[in-house]
Amino acid sequence: MDKECIGCGLCEAMCHKKAIRIIEDKDGSFCDRNTELCDNCGVCSKLCPVEQLKEKEELSQVDTVAIGRSKDEHVVTNSASGGIVSETLMHLFRTGQIDAAIVAFFDHHANIYGDVIENEGDVLKHSGSYYHTSNQLINVKKIKQYNKLAVVGLPCHIDGIKNYCKLTGQMDKVITISLFCTIGRTYEGFRRFIKHETGFDVAKGEVRDYQSRIGDRKLIHIEDDKGNVYECPDEKYKFTMDFFSANRTCLECRKMYGLSADISVGDAWHKVNEENGVKQKRAIISANTKYGEVLLGTLRESLQLEYVTNGAYELASSQRYGTGLKQFHNESIVRRLDKIRCLRKLNDNPLLFRVSCRLRGKLLDKLGADTEKVKDQLR
Ligand SMILES: Cc1cc2nc3c(=O)[nH]c(=O)nc-3n(C[C@H](O)[C@H](O)[C@H](O)COP(=O)(O)OP(=O)(O)OC[C@H]3O[C@@H](n4cnc5c(N)ncnc54)[C@H](O)[C@@H]3O)c2cc1C
Ligand code: SF4
Ligand code: SF4
Ligand code: SF4
């Protein structure tokens, strides 16, 4: 428990002795438990999703899958992959199906955490994907104040929220929306990248605005308290940081699509549309429960949506590397990922960087080949 952690914040929020603090350093997240305060009640172990993350997701259970984006260009611009999540939340508020939602917030050092919004008007202020660790469940206790909520999170957050609802008898209260996830990146990696690219250290400066993966160029956009703007392409961030700044626990995680959620949303990387040389944002959506199917159906008014046959195959195809990584969980690949992760941590030496990029390229080739094997089985 003290070693394996993805920093969701659930145990810290729920410990009645306030004995837990979630910490992140260069090695990733860990849970710091004060043994003098702890009375061994066991709640934190019951809630922690880490062990569940090691179970492979069954692609054969996938049924209804669609590809699409919002019909509203403003929503698309503000969103990560076409605004499916944002449109879903707005629809749920508009139709009175929820009175609150847990989405991602940022603090004045660009740390990401989950908190509650209470109306449709606030949805777009929290769109886009912040590609680093999120204490998404740190405010989970607020759920009690509401009748029905939507919770947005990565597959690990969805497993965590389900554990919480089960333990507190609130299973019927929550609608879950999962984001796909190949790998989680650390805050430290994000901080280093932004500092290298823009000179701004988010850990030292005051962040007033932070949006990620927005606009046609999919920018990371940061504004400090003096009004200075720092921007860089999200793709460059992902290239520099994917796998290099991963949380150790993420290397063991086998949850790519979050199939335990009502709906799951990711990028339709395999069906990229280009208009005027610009790649159009489009998402792939899996409806995983009966309620999720109904919900997807009712979203047709606000979404351009195309249902696909053989949904499992399309899901696997959409994640060129993630499918291979998580469906096979090839031990030797994980060991090699861990090595390049350590190599990059050592220093920012340009030669080491080039070597680790080359190693990364070879690993991606292998992961891509594993993904092809999964696709062959599903064809
Ligand atoms: C860390 C991370 C890794 C991802 N990896 C992949 C991947 O490998 N492959 C893939 O296809 N898709 C991945 N995604 C999902 C993808 O980026 C989009 O979030 C998803 O396709 C939904 O797009 P959208 O336009 O419908 O969402 P939007 O309408 O833009 O809404 C996004 C929602 O996500 C919430 N959110 C943002 N950042 C976080 C965070 N760190 N933790 C929890 N909630 C957050 C926002 O508050 C918002 O409610 C990842 C997302 C994140 C945050
Ligand atoms: S066992 Fe109970 S008291 Fe101890 S850290 Fe966990 S939740 Fe807190
Ligand atoms: S994964 Fe979540 S619940 Fe588990 S130790 Fe880390 S913060 Fe606590
Ligand atoms: S790989 Fe993604 S879903 Fe899995 S533990 Fe890491 S952040 Fe969570």
Q: What is the pLDDT along the chain (379 residues), one digit of tens a residue?
A: 456 899 999 999 999 999 999 998 777 889 999 999 999 999 999 999 999 999 999 999 898 999 999 999 999 999 999 999 999 999 999 999 999 999 999 999 999 999 999 999 999 999 999 999 899 999 999 999 999 999 999 999 999 999 999 999 999 999 999 999 999 999 988 998 999 899 999 999 999 999 998 888 889 999 999 999 999 998 888 887 777 888 888 988 999 999 999 999 999 988 877 766 667 889 999 999 999 999 999 998 899 999 999 999 999 999 999 999 999 887 888 888 888 877 776 666 788 878 888 888 888 999 999 999 999 999 8
User: Tell me, what's the pLDDT at 91?
Assistant: 97
User: Tell me, what's the pLDDT at 45?
Assistant: 95
Mutate to test the pocket of ligand 1, among 67, 98, 107, 179 (most ligand atoms within 8 A of CB): 179
Cα 213 to ligand 2 centroid, rounded to whole Å: 37
User: Tell me, what's the pLDDT at 243?
Assistant: 78
Cα 127 to ligand 1 centroid, rounded to whole Å: 8
User: Tell me, what's the pLDDT at 59?
Assistant: 94
Q: Which numbered ligand comes closest to the C-alpha of 17?
A: 2
User: Tell me, what's the pLDDT at 98?
Assistant: 98
Supply the angle between the helices 350-378 and 311-318 in degrees, to the nearest 10: 170
User: Tell me, what's the pLDDT at 2?
Assistant: 53
Calpha distance 219→228 (Å, rounded): 16
The answer to whether the CB of 47 is under 6 A from ligand 3 is yes
User: Tell me, what's the pLDDT at 337?
Assistant: 84
Q: What tokens does 17 get? A: 């002795």
User: Tell me, what's the pLDDT at 129?
Assistant: 95
The predicted model scores a pTM of: 0.96
Locate the ligand 2 atom nearest the alpha carbon of residue 45 and give its number. 6
User: Tell me, what's the pLDDT at 88?
Assistant: 98
**What region, left, alpha or beta, does residue 110 occupy, with left being phi > 0 and alpha being psi -120 to 50 degrees?**
left
The answer to whether the CB of 155 is under 6 A from ligand 4 is yes
Q: How many Cβ atoms from other residues are within 10 Å of residue 236's Cβ?
A: 12
User: Tell me, what's the pLDDT at 277?
Assistant: 67
**Contact indicator for 111, 85 with CB cutoff of 8 Å:** no
Cβ contacts of residue 305 below 8 Å, gap of 6+? 66, 67, 68, 285, 296, 299
Locate the ligand 3 atom nearest the alpha carbon of residue 47 and give its number. 3
User: Tell me, what's the pLDDT at 64?
Assistant: 96
Calpha distance 107→298 (Å, rounded): 34
The alpha carbon of 255 is separated from its chain's Cα centroid by a whole number of angstroms, namely 11
Q: What tokens does 52 get? A: 């569940």
Closest CA to 185 of 344, 362, 298: 344
